[in-house]
Structure 1
Amino acid sequence: MSERTTVRAATEADVAAIVALEAEAFPLDPWSANLIGEGVAGLLPTVGLVVAGHDGRFAGYAVVSVVDVDAELQRIAVPVPLRRAGVATALLEGVHAVAARGGATRLLLEVREDNTPARRFYERHGFSELGQRARYYRDGTTALVLATPVTMVP
C-alpha cells in the first residue's frame, strides 16, 4: 500500500462521494444512495464498505459481503485520475482484512469477460477463474467468477 493511500471503514460522511463514484463507475446499474447509506450504517447483514483516501482526499471504495467461509467483492471503484496509483490494491487489501475478520477463507468476485484491465489486475492479485456466468450482464456479456484465498489474518 502506498504511504499516501489509507483505507478505513466507510462512514456516513463518505456516502455522497461513494454515490457519485458509483454513478461514474457503474453507469448502467449504479446502487442507490439509500442502499449505500444502509450499507454504511450497518443495516445490510454481511455487507461492509471500505474507502480509500489518497493524499488526504477520497480515492475510492469497495463493498464486500461475508457469509460463512466465503466473501464476495461486490464493488470496487477508483476515480479515473487515481487509477494505477495503488489505490485499488490498497482497497483490495482492506477487503481481505474485512473478509478475514468475518471468518472467510475465500474471496470471490465476478468480472466482465471483456474487461481486460480488471482481469489482469485480479490475476496479479492471485485470483483464478472458478467458473463463468453466461449472459450475466444486462448487455449479454459473460461474467467470469474468480476466486482467491483470503490472505490477511484478522
Structure 2
Amino acid sequence: MYIIKDIENKEIIDGIAKLEIEFFKKEAYSKESLEEMILSDSYILIVDNFEKINGYLLVHDSFDVFEIMKIAVIGKSREKGIGKDLINYFLNIKKENLFLEVREGNIKAIKFYEKIGFNQVGKRKKYYCDGETAILMMLERN
C-alpha cells in the first residue's frame, strides 16, 4: 500500500480513472480531476498486486477534517479486508476526524463503515444526481 502524491505515474492515474467509471458511472472523477486532487490537498492510497490496482481510497483534506471522497475495491478482492486496511492505513497517518457520505440505500456500505467505527451524524436529502439521500457519517478521533 502506498500514497500517491505526484502525477508522474500515468499508468496509476489511468487505472484509477478507468475504475472510477466502472464503479461510479456518472459520479466518477475524470482523469483530470484525479490529477488535480493529487496536486492539491488530497490523498490517494492504492493497494496493488504489481499488475493492477486492487483498491483505492481518495481522501480530501479540508483544513481541520478529512473526508473520504471515494473508496473502491475490485470484485475479486472484495471481502478480504482491503477497504478496512485502506481506511486504517490512513487513520494511522492522520489523527483528525474522518467524514464520508454514503447512499442511504447502500446498506452493505453503511454496515461496513459502522464496523470500522463510523457513526451517522446527518442526512443530505436528494444529494445524489438520481435524487437519493446521502447519509453523513463520521469517525471521531478526538
Q: TM class by shorter-chain length?
A: 0.7 to 0.9
**Deviation per residue, 1:97-148 (Å, 9 max, x gap):** 34x1xxx521000000000110010000000000000000111110000001
State the partner residue of 2:136: 145
CA distance in 1 between partners of 2:29 and 2:130 (Å)? 18
1:39 CA displacement: 2.3
- Structure with more contact order per residue of length (Cα contacts < 8 Å, sep ≥ 6): 1
1:56 CA displacement: 6.1
Q: How many residues align?
A: 138
Which of 69, 87, 99 matches 2:64? 69
Equivalent residues in 2 for 1:113-152, closer than 5 Å: 113-150=104-141
Identity between Structure 1 and Structure 2 (%): 28
Judged with a 3 Å threshold, the aligned counterparts in structure 2 of structure 1 residues 114 and 146 are, in CA distance, closer, same or farther, namely: same
SS in 2 for 1:140: coil
State the partner residue of 2:87: 92
Matched, 1:15 2:6: no
Equivalent residues in 2 for 1:4-83, closer than 5 Å: 7-10=1-4, 12=9, 13-40=11-38, 42=39, 44=40, 46-54=41-49, 57-83=52-78
The two structures have a TM-score, normalised by structure 2, of: 0.88
CA distance in 2 between partners of 1:148 and 1:14 (Å)? 28
Conserved 8 A contact 1:73-1:108: yes
SS in 2 for 1:110: strand
CA distance in 2 between partners of 1:69 and 1:33 (Å)? 27
Q: Which runs of 5+ in 2 are unaligned?
A: none
**Deviation per residue, 1:18-37 (Å, 9 max, x gap):** 01111111012111111112
RMSD: 1.8
**Deviation per residue, 1:42-86 (Å, 9 max, x gap):** 2x2x21111112476421111111223311001111111111111
Structure 1 or 2: more helix by fraction = 2
Q: Which residue type is aligned with residue 13 of structure 2?
A: V
The two structures have a TM-score, normalised by structure 1, of: 0.82
Q: Which runs of 5+ in 1 are unaligned?
A: 1-6
